[in-house]
Structure 1
Amino acid sequence: MTTAKRAVARALYGSRYDSVPWAQRVYVRPGERLARELQWQLRVRRAPVVSLDEYRRQVPAGAIEEFISCHLCGETRQQPLFTPRALTARGRTKWSYRVVRCPSCGFLYRNPNIRPERLGDLYAKNYSQFLSGGYSRRRQRRYRLTMEAFDPILTDGDKRRLLDFGCGSGLFLDLAEQRGFDARGVDLSPDSVELANQRLTSATAYHGAPEDVPEVAEGGFDVITLWSVLAHLPRPVDDFTKFRELLAPGGVLLLLTVNAASLHLKAYGSDWNGFTRNHLMFYSSSTLPLLLRKAGFAGVTFAPFYGDTIESGTTRLPETLRRRLRRSVAASDGGNMMRAMAFADRQAVERWGPGREVVRLDG
């Protein structure tokens, strides 16, 4: 958050909310949710809509980039909205890119985007080191909270087959084997896979894409999980069509990703923490169903995300502000992360859908 924005917030709210963690302030300060929603509507209304050819003339593309149309609805027009960037200590640009909105379906995506064959250029060779230490402890807590949000699907594995796509160093596979799943994982980082197999007992991680691994390509999975992976996929329709083929009858796919309806995005624009160096596409509860329908899924349901400390009971917020935060998230669909469960077929909806608000996708 910039110094100018902090000054505006202090002028509006005084020091009363200074003790509230920065990530939670946008949800608990009075009137801020409505103000941020209005700010977002004005941003969208004022942003120009241009043809793809005109956009190409305005925006340079790097050697590893390509211009794309909307993957979800095929719209070629572009509505430029954001230019995320990261700076060095000396103020030089480390990386930057442009994010556009589809004027037809509202999908947010990076454009120009990364060519699929050059995706590895975004990841350091020692990426597995990033997935260890404090990151791993925070990440496993988030996995547990997500598993609880979708109880009882992940409560007892009972030898059901599970595939963790983008398994990294095996943090979730560790939890899955503890709960009795017959678990497998795939990842494109060889050093991460090596670390995963050192950690695991019964589960196994493989290097490569699902179709490259015979034990995975045979399919028949009861559960597929994608934790913080969806935003990294340059060809999401192809990938999700493959996931649907890998699921057994009655199977489900669970995912966790940054939420493009987040109040943080609406408040902070290009400074949103969901715009990271290696994120390509940004989904919400209104655009994810478009992807799932194209890939052949029968339905989807969502679990609101209130934040790790709120859900784990470790927050220092007083109870009045906890309730206000939950109301803000529920009213705006604005949690900073999105949790969703997609149903492979009607059998899956009938088995796991009761008691949940299911968006039907099968006609």
Structure 2
Amino acid sequence: MSVKRTLSRVVYGSRYDRIPRGQRVYVRPGERIAREIQWRLRIRRAPVLRFQDYRERTLLGEIEEFVTCHLCGETRQQPMFQPTGDKQGWSYRVVRCPACGFLYRNPNIRPDRLGDLYATGYDGFLTGRYAVSRQRRHRLTMDAFGPVLSSGQGRRLLDFGCGTGLFLRLAERRGFDAAGIDRSPDSVAAANERLTSAKAHAGALEDVPAVAAGGFDVITLWSVLARLPRPIDDFRRLRSLLAPGGVLLVLTVNAASLQLKAYGSGWSGFTGNHLMFYSAETVPALLRRTGFAGVAFAPFYGDTVEASTTRLPERLSRRLRRNVEISGGGNMLRALAFADDEAVERWGANLQVRRLS
């Protein structure tokens, strides 16, 4: 038994062992407050370095480059974490922007070397438990935003970073005129084998005429945002592809998660191919800079909890929901961005929309 689990047993006993690991920090008494204090102390103790000083004391890998904050342009660096994938052999540094709070990998991966982070085999993503859990997460996220994504009749959808087409299959079933785009030819080939009416394309947004023409009512990014080395450039292109009244859906790991504050460098969101880490405080800055009119967020309580395959006692269910909502939205971040005022008026009636102008 690990040291962390042993300490947890000493404090809480075994009564929370049946609760999924990701939700325990939200339901154990007093833990939310303790983790928030722990996070504030971590920020206070972390040094803030000049860009040049940080560069001089940090090794730069062959495929890496030093970057400054993409959201606000701040050059100072506040080193926070050093995640490591022991079995996979990767390690990197995560810094915090002391001006806006954005967390990002630095040194980061050069855009022209991004493919070095990905394996060439995709068979494991086609079927089995992975496909089932991913499609469940897609459905739960779509449902969290109500009628916006419940029916695709007469609406065009683009899935950016479509991978092997797991979401495009669901979009077909909901009636969307759907297309996908991905830089991996292997993934696109696998996607087109499973699709009926939707079509997946290989390449960049500007390389595929059917995509570059725009006019999409919905654009989706499933676990893609954290992997973009130039998010401002990408989101400007995506905004230009939306039709009037269009929306953009994002699912990504949440940098405000209590799990991050509890587990630090061991957080599940720190994976070998993640470059930047967003929260409900930093996503609006990205959207504001790239021309969006508003954004709404949906709390994430955990896949099995939302799907009712994990049934919590009512007392713990209330505590989970309250703590998730108070502390920044759960371990995953679910955001719906509105292209313009027309989109806010059409789709924002039952959502808490944060205006960006």
What is the TM-score normalised by the length of structure 2? Answer: 0.98
- 1:261 and 2:260 equivalent? no
Q: Is the 8 A contact 1:168 1:193 kept in 2?
A: yes
How many angstroms does 1:128 deviate by? 5.0
Label 1:128 to 1:189 Cα distance change in 2 as closer, same or farther (>3 A).
farther
How many angstroms does 1:131 deviate by? 5.0
1:134 match: secondary structure: helix
Q: What amino acid sits opposite 1:191 in the alignment?
A: D
Label 1:266 to 1:131 Cα distance change in 2 as closer, same or farther (>3 A).
farther
Q: What amino acid sits opposite 2:11 in the alignment?
A: L
1:301-324 CA distances to partner (integer Å, 9 max, x unpaired)? 000000111111110422221221
Q: Is the 8 A contact 1:128 1:169 kept in 2?
A: no
Partner of 1:79 in structure 2?
Answer: 78
Q: What amino acid sits opposite 1:182 in the alignment?
A: D
- 1:238 and 2:237 equivalent? no
Label 1:278 to 1:358 Cα distance change in 2 as closer, same or farther (>3 A).
same
Partner of 1:48 in structure 2?
Answer: 47
- 1:118 and 2:113 equivalent? yes
CA distance in 2, matches of 1:180, 1:57: 54
CA distance in 2, matches of 1:156, 1:23: 31
- 1:345 and 2:344 equivalent? no
How many angstroms does 1:9 deviate by? 1.3
Q: Is the 8 A contact 1:305 1:335 kept in 2?
A: yes
Q: Which one of 294, 298, 311 corresponds to residue 306 of structure 2?
A: 311
Partner of 1:217 in structure 2?
Answer: 212
Q: Is the 8 A contact 1:228 1:257 kept in 2?
A: yes
Q: Is the 8 A contact 2:145 2:351 kept in 1?
A: no
- Any residues of structure 2 matched to 1:1-363 within 5 Å, and which? 3-88=2-87, 94-127=89-122, 129-362=124-357
CA distance in 1, matches of 2:142, 2:150: 7
Q: Compare 133-142 and 266-275 and name the one that shifted more.
A: 133-142
1:87-129 CA distances to partner (integer Å, 9 max, x unpaired)? 13xxxx7110000000000000000000000000000011453
CA distance in 2, matches of 1:272, 1:98: 13
1:101-160 CA distances to partner (integer Å, 9 max, x unpaired)? 000000000000000000000000114534542111100000000110011011111121
Aligned length: 357
Q: What amino acid sits opposite 2:49 in the alignment?
A: V
Q: State percent identity of aligned pairs.
A: 70
Q: Is the 8 A contact 1:263 1:334 kept in 2?
A: no
Q: Is the 8 A contact 2:125 2:164 kept in 1?
A: no
What is the TM-score normalised by the length of structure 1? Answer: 0.96
2:349 match: secondary structure: coil
CA distance in 2, matches of 1:232, 1:325: 29
Post-superposition, which runs of at least 4 consecutive aligned residues in structure 1 deviate over 6 A? none
Q: What amino acid sits opposite 2:29 in the alignment?
A: P
CA distance in 2, matches of 1:84, 1:41: 20
Q: Is the 8 A contact 2:102 2:278 kept in 1?
A: yes
